[in-house]
Every structure is written in structure tokens, then in C-alpha cells.
Amino acid sequence: MRGKFKNDFLLKKNKTFIVDLVSVGDCVEIDLNADGTGTITKIYQRKNYISRKAPKIKGSSFRGERLEQIIASNIDQIFIVVSVNEPEFNNKLLDRFIAIAESANVEPIIIVNKADLGVEKIQNILSIYTDIGYNVIVTSVTQNLNIDKIKKNVENKTSIFWGASGVGKSSLINKSYPNYSLRVNEISKSTNKGKHTTVTSQLIQLDSKSFLIDTPGVREVDPFGIQKKDLGHYFIEFAEYLRDCRFNTCTHQHEPECGIIKAVEQSKISRERYESYLHILASVEDDILF
Ligand SMILES: Nc1nc2c(ncn2[C@@H]2O[C@H](COP(=O)(O)OP(=O)(O)OP(=O)(O)O)[C@@H](O)[C@H]2O)c(=O)[nH]1
Ligand SMILES: [Mg+2]
Ligand SMILES: [Zn+2]
């Protein structure tokens, strides 16, 4: 990418520095170079994008701040992939992915892979998500369970597979579309976690209207740019109780006459989801006061 264009882009982002200027899914213009490579000269306006705070690794922070890392842009839906085990199912992590999808206004579909490793044990917690209206697809690559449902859901859309390392994102794509043979790897026996086998995001074109994006597994996922007062809007089942909060800036922690706390006490909102909400709340931006 050329320097001038790079600077323009940084300025356009209101001096908010981001980690990568171009992301998978971007529509770009390129100049072809003599050696067959290309130089990006323009990025078209994104319809949407999902991002997170860049991981805390050396070299990624700018004056101590954590920068925005764009995961993908111009997408129609997010397959949030989790596994029953290896790595262990983690509802708090799932809720982080969901909140990011909701904040980007992109439909999340929850894929619970490795059903063969004892899906019965997490059935109760999975029912929370179906009860609030999410599409939950339980899959197993080894048992060929519901792979057809994934294939049906990706038709005529751009979909991203996102989740922790080792949950089986690349395996699911390989099973659905064997032509692509993405690299997969067993999980680590000592940590029960994935080995970060996929290292860069990859866009796969299935036909003229259907695209899949495989992404590298994440270790942590902190939402970028969500303010405390807005987080409740990204927990979809909170919506009908928000109007019962006395204050419209309520963060549903300890404020008096809070509709959300009341709904949790009456078991109308699940305690697990509410705890996830509090967990994320602790890590998001303080509100910008005008
Ligand atoms: N038992 C079981 N193992 C599975 C299933 N799906 C995938 N695996 C295994 O899980 C391991 C990790 O799979 P990958 O497809 O590499 O996982 P990934 O999510 O792409 O991981 P990263 O690329 O590191 O993010 C591999 O050993 C797969 O064979 C499944 O449904 N059941
Ligand atoms: Mg992978
Ligand atoms: Zn409240």
C-alpha cells in the first residue's frame, strides 16, 4: 500500500489508529505492477466490519493503547464456532463474540462443534441461546452431523467463521467443501487448546454469490469501541426490560430500579448471560461525556 494513501486512511479514521489498514472482505482497487504483484490504491467504503482490541503483544500498542484490529468487513453473517470440549466450552467467551457481532449489526449463528465429545453435558446452557432466539447449529465433523445445515446457511452470503483456536473452524469448512483442504491440526494435549494452525484469514469463493472466510483462532476477544451505556443493547434479551430502568444511562450493575436486575431476579434473563454482561462491562470503554 502506498504511503500517501496510508496516511489519508489514518486521518479518515479520525486519528484512531488501527492495526491493519486493509482487511479480508474489503473491496479494493489495485494497480498491477510489472512483476505481477498489485498495489492497493483505494478501499471502498465498508458496508460493515467486525473488530476487536488488538491482542496485548509487543509492538501492537500505540502509546500504551490497544489498537483496533479489524477481523473482516462486508459480511452478512458470523458463524461463531465453539466446541463442546477440546477446548472446553466457555459461555463467557461465546457471549463476547455475540456482543461484538450484535454491536456490528451482523447476524451471529452459533456453531457448537465436536458434538461427539458429549454435547448432552452443555445442553442446558445451549438452550439459553435458542430460547432468546439465536440459531444454534450443533455439529460434528467426525460424525458428519449437520454439515448440510452449514452448507445451506452459507448460500448466497458472505460468512465468517470465528472462534477460539482448535474448535474446528477449518475442519468444518474442509468437511463442507473438501476441495479447499485448509490446514488443520490437533489440539495441544497439555493445554487442551488449539495450536493456532490457521495464521491468516482467507476468503474462499464458493460461487458467484457465496463466500466463506476462515480466520485464525483467537486467544482473547475484547470488544473495541463499545461504551458502557451501550453494552446492554448488544444482549438481545435485555431489550424488553431496558424500558423499566429508572435511568436511561443505567449500566445495570447496582443502580436503583433497574429493569435488568429485576428481570434476572425473576429468572426472565439468565444469570449466566447477566454475569457475562458484567464481565464484559468491566473491560469496555468508560463513556465519553459530551
Ligand atoms: N472430536 C472431534 N474433533 C474435531 C471435530 N472437528 C475438528 N476436530 C479436530 O479438532 C482439531 C482442530 O481443528 P482445526 O480445524 O484445526 O481447528 P481451528 O478452529 O481451525 O483452529 P485454528 O486454525 O488454530 O484457529 C483437529 O485435530 C480436528 O481434527 C469434531 O467434530 N470432533
Ligand atoms: Mg483453522
Ligand atoms: Zn438497568
Residue 126 burial by Cβ neighbours in a 10 Å radius (0-12, 13-18, 19+): buried
Q: Is the CB of 184 under 6 A from ligand 1?
A: yes
Which atom of ligand 1 is nearest to 214's Cα? 20
Cα 265 to averaged position of ligand 2 atoms, centre (Å): 40
Predicted confidence (pLDDT) at residue 178 exceeds the cutoff of 60: yes
Closest by CA to 168, choosing from 204, 148, 142, is 142
Mean pLDDT of 120-130: 98
Question: What domains can you pick out in the chain, each with its CATH number?
Answer: 3-67 (no CATH), 69-214 (3.40.50.300), 228-281 (1.10.40.50)
Q: SS3 of 155, please?
A: coil
Average pLDDT over residues 7-23: 57
CA 203 to centroid of chain Cα atoms:
16
d(CA 219, CA 221): 7
Element (H, E) at 231: helix 228-231
- Residue 132 is predicted with a pLDDT of 98
Question: For the segment 155-176, what is each residue's pLDDT rounded down to a tens digit?
Answer: 999 999 999 999 999 999 999 9
CB of residue 159 inside a 6 A radius of ligand 1: no
Instruction: Write down the pTM of the prediction.
Output: 0.90
What residue type is 179 in one-letter code?
N
Q: Which of 176, 186, 196 is nearest to 79 (CA)?
A: 176
Query: Ligand 3 mean position to 278 CA, how many Å?
Result: 12
CB of 84 shorter than 6 A to ligand 1: no
Instruction: Please give the residue that has the higher pLDDT: either 15 or 282.
Output: 282
What does the pLDDT read at residue 64? 57
How confident is the prediction for the chain on average, in pLDDT?
Answer: 90
Q: Is the CB of 176 under 6 A from ligand 1?
A: no
Nearest Cα to Cα of residue 145 among 185, 124, 167, 172: 172
Phi and psi at residue 202, to the nearest 5°: -140, 130
- Residue 141 CB less than 6 A away from ligand 1: yes
User: What is the model's pLDDT at position 286?
Assistant: 72
Beta strand extents in 68-177 (DSSP E only): 68-73, 77-83, 107-113, 135-138, 158-163
Decide: 167 in ligand 1 pocket, CB within 6 A: yes
pLDDT > 60? residue 10? no
Beta bridge partners of 61: 66
Which of 144, 175, 184 has the most ligand 1 atoms within 8 A of CB, as the residue to mutate? 184
Looking at residue 59, what DSSP letter applies? T
